[in-house]
Structure 1
Amino acid sequence: MNKSRAVAVVGTFDSKGEEHLFLKNRIEGSGLRVLTVNVGTKEPIPFEVSYDLYSLMKKNGNLDDGNRDKAIQDMIREGIKLIKQLCRDGKIHGMISAGGGSGTHLCSSIMRALPLGIPKVMVSTVASKDMKHTVGTKDITMIHSVVDLLGVNSISGIILDKAAAAICGMTRSQWQPDTEKRRIALSFFGFITKSAEAVKRELERMDYEVIPFHANGTGGMAMEELASEGYFHGILDLATHELADALMDGYCSGIGPGRLEPAPGKEIPRLVTPGGLDCAVLEFTRRHIPEEYRDRKVFFYDFRSAIR
């Protein structure tokens, strides 16, 4: 038993109290400590919690629960502040939540404030949908609840139990890299794999550690975010293909204004090449090629196709 490590169970306890109490009990039963954080925007809540942001914000006049959209945004803001402080103070070593559409949005927004490597598990009724706005650039583990969350039953209990086991295993894991090599971030994607492999071999021969990022929109932004946090000593931006997709509204277009822009005071050496700028990845199949692309070279993958 490792009682020194703790998991934050964060959720809308006003509507999903039974589910989060189940998670709490399963995690504590495995030997880890639990801090419960209520981020629901209504009352009452069915059990005593470690931090009740609803009551605290109502008392301080920081929550307008008559305006649902604003209440959720206010709760996200205060939830981020609390969870970051708990993490900085070493009081939590992982976070788990369960929710429907709104709960997933609220709790995953708080999760994304946690640093890389802190376990993050989100049980969600909408996990089978496009999760790019939910996960963003973070290492969040999404678990589809399969059934809706309306208390604990013989199916939801199985899912929640496995999710609790997952966060316990992740929180106990304390692997650390045993290298002190200088790190180079490398962007690439399928069309330039051979180039990326050759570059990686040469950099490793020079005793650098190469950290690759898939240039799929999110990958490029994750690279920029980690660079701003000081993870890298240099960047080889081999695949700037995301810029082409941004122009074409392609599959890899999810970049923000910070792509190719170093954070102030975080400038590091960066070499940029036009890898993949001659193609765009679009979502159409072999049987449904848009007419405007039929005279182009088309490379088929799965539900995606690349055009040149």
Structure 2
Amino acid sequence: MADKTILVIGTYDTKNDELDYMASRIRAGGGGVLTMDVSVLGDPANPTDHSKHDVAEAGGSSIQAAIDSGDENSAMQIMATGACVLATRLYDERKFDGVVILGGTMGTDLALDVCQALPLGVPKYVVSTVSFSPLIPAERLSADIQMILWAGGLYGLNSVCKSSLSQAAGAVLGAARLVEPPVRDKPVVGMTSLGSSCLKYMKALKPALEERGFEVAIFHATGMGGAAFESIAAEGGFACVMDFALPELGNLMVGSVINGGRDRMLSAGRAGIPQIIAPGCIDLIDFAGWQEIPERYQDRPFHAHNRLIKSSGLNAEERRETAREMAKRIKSSDTPAHVILTNQGIEEWDRPGQEAHDPDAFAEFCDEMRKVMTDPIIFSELDCHINDEAFVTKVLAIFDAWVADGTIKVG
């Protein structure tokens, strides 16, 4: 008897052979298979466990409605809605332990929705012709999604694409056997940061919060990390957030691809999670290492972090805009929010003598923060740098007071 069952999703009218091949590899590994067809026009070679009609109807529609919608985009969105509902229902009934979804751009679009619909800890594998592509924005990625590039498999089986398909089959089955889903036996603090060479507070805060009986999850604020942070916050997965690394917000505003999605700094408030916020690294705009720095940023302070990412400084007016956008987002909910401004600097590279030191632009940012961080925001200004001990001390004082008065729920 199979120990774990994998849900295999795809358009069986056009990718029947590939989907069947993955299913055969899962069975060969001792796993069970549950199949779901998300086709619209055609039919599979053999019936699936859940037909395209089941899928469309689960989303409150029908295959005929998908056909009549007039274009394949609209049709596949009908199927995506149904696939999310049906997959969630099947998981709630413990009918499967992990999911693997195959597709080109159409199938990947649907797959991203399904993965976001399933809880954290459910193994989610997407085999796609556009895995890791800039076509996929960070906000479409669930916090624990896995992607495998489907090379050489756009149409029909061959030895090249079997390599990808068989690895995906083994990966999802292995993940289903070995995964440790979140236990939720301790309240979790969600924190954003960057590498400790830039922002150091996590080194002191993590052990201090753990001593208080909390688990601490720290997210790397380089686009994907911020998206994962927002995804878990949206599900109410944190008792409190400490959002101290905000370059993704500035990146979003100026159009950099290194952003955490349009919901950055919004999900915790919508979910009723108390927030402690500081503008760490919001003075920088990040570029992918392979990009040329746009001409309008070439006269700015510059930091080449590594071959993957490099940063230019924001000018004074851009920094004022980020302060206003921060305030707007924080004020969009009634969630308790305490903003801390460290007026001697907000990342290691803005200290005197470092590449991003720009005291005049930073002074204007601080001036705007004082103007816009008004009620209902609680605002504190500290005469220190964000990497100084005084910042950590203030954060813990706010946190302890919120635990004591019940703002932060511990049960």
TM-score by length of 2: 0.67
How far off its partner does 1:219 sit?
A: 2.6
**Matched residue, 1:39:** 38
How far off its partner does 1:304 sit?
A: 2.9
Question: Which of the pair has the greater relative contact order for Cα pairs under 8 Å at 6+ separation?
Answer: 1
**Matched residue, 1:277:** 282
Task: Give yes or no for contact 1:137–1:218 (8 Å, CA) kept in 2.
Answer: no
Structure in which a larger fraction of residues adopt helix: 2
2:123 corresponds, among 116, 119, 124, to 119
| Inter-partner Cα distance in structure 1 for 2:181 and 2:43 | 42
Q: How has the CA–CA distance of structure 1 residues 79 and 163 changed in structure 2, closer, same or farther, with 3 Å as cutoff?
A: same
| Inter-partner Cα distance in structure 2 for 1:42 and 1:60 | 8
Q: Which moves more between the two structures, 170-179 or 211-220?
A: 170-179
| Inter-partner Cα distance in structure 2 for 1:84 and 1:258 | 25
TM-score by length of 1: 0.88
1:57-68 alignment runs, 5 A limit: 57=56, 61-64=64-67, 66-68=70-72
| Inter-partner Cα distance in structure 2 for 1:141 and 1:120 | 6
SS of residue matched to 2:200: helix
| Inter-partner Cα distance in structure 1 for 2:62 and 2:281 | 54
Q: Which AA in structure 1 matches 2:167? A: K
**Matched residue, 1:79:** 83
How far off its partner does 1:174 sit?
A: 4.3
Q: Deviations over 1:21-55 (max 9, x none)?
A: 11111112222221110001121321121011247
| Inter-partner Cα distance in structure 2 for 1:82 and 1:115 | 14
2:214 paired with 1:208:
yes
2:199 paired with 1:196:
no
SS of residue matched to 1:63: helix
How far off its partner does 1:135 sit?
A: 5.1
Task: Give yes or no for contact 1:284–1:304 (8 Å, CA) kept in 2.
Answer: yes
2:183 paired with 1:166:
no
SS of residue matched to 1:81: helix
Q: Which moves more between the two structures, 37-46 or 291-300?
A: 291-300
How far off its partner does 1:4 sit?
A: 4.8
% same residue: 30
| Inter-partner Cα distance in structure 1 for 2:183 and 2:137 | 32
In structure 1, the gaps of 5 or more residues are none
Q: Deviations over 1:101-147 (max 9, x none)?
A: 22222233223211111011111122252233685233221111221
| Inter-partner Cα distance in structure 2 for 1:211 and 1:99 | 32
2:97 paired with 1:69:
no
Q: Which AA in structure 2 matches 1:169? A: G
How far off its partner does 1:269 sit?
A: 2.6
| Inter-partner Cα distance in structure 2 for 1:48 and 1:151 | 20
Cα RMSD for the two superposed structures: 2.7
1:159-308 alignment runs, 5 A limit: 159-175=164-180, 180-190=185-195, 192-257=198-263, 259-262=265-268, 264=270, 266-283=271-288, 288-300=292-304, 301-308=306-313
Task: Give yes or no for contact 1:187–1:215 (8 Å, CA) kept in 2.
Answer: yes
Task: Give yes or no for contact 2:138–2:227 (8 Å, CA) kept in 1.
Answer: no
Q: How has the CA–CA distance of structure 1 residues 115 and 158 changed in structure 2, closer, same or farther, with 3 Å as cutoff?
A: same
SS of residue matched to 1:180: coil
**Matched residue, 2:26:** 27
| Inter-partner Cα distance in structure 1 for 2:133 and 2:207 | 37
Q: Which AA in structure 2 matches 1:118? A: V
| Inter-partner Cα distance in structure 2 for 1:280 and 1:108 | 27
| Inter-partner Cα distance in structure 2 for 1:168 and 1:201 | 35
Which of structures 1 and 2 has the bigger CA Rg? 2
| Inter-partner Cα distance in structure 2 for 1:149 and 1:282 | 31
Q: Deviations over 1:258-278 (max 9, x none)?
A: 6245355x4233111111122
**Matched residue, 1:102:** 106
Q: Which AA in structure 1 matches 2:37? A: N
SS of residue matched to 1:200: helix
| Inter-partner Cα distance in structure 2 for 1:226 and 1:150 | 36
Task: Give yes or no for contact 1:137–1:219 (8 Å, CA) kept in 2.
Answer: no
**Matched residue, 2:6:** 7
How far off its partner does 1:199 sit?
A: 2.3
Task: Give yes or no for contact 1:7–1:94 (8 Å, CA) kept in 2.
Answer: yes
Task: Give yes or no for contact 2:249–2:264 (8 Å, CA) kept in 1.
Answer: no
Q: Which AA in structure 2 matches 1:210? A: V
| Inter-partner Cα distance in structure 1 for 2:108 and 2:263 | 26
| Inter-partner Cα distance in structure 2 for 1:97 and 1:209 | 32
Q: How has the CA–CA distance of structure 1 residues 176 and 48 changed in structure 2, closer, same or farther, with 3 Å as cutoff?
A: closer
Q: How many residues of Structure 1 are paired with residues of Structure 2 in the alignment?
A: 305
| Inter-partner Cα distance in structure 1 for 2:142 and 2:194 | 17
Q: Which AA in structure 2 matches 1:208? A: F
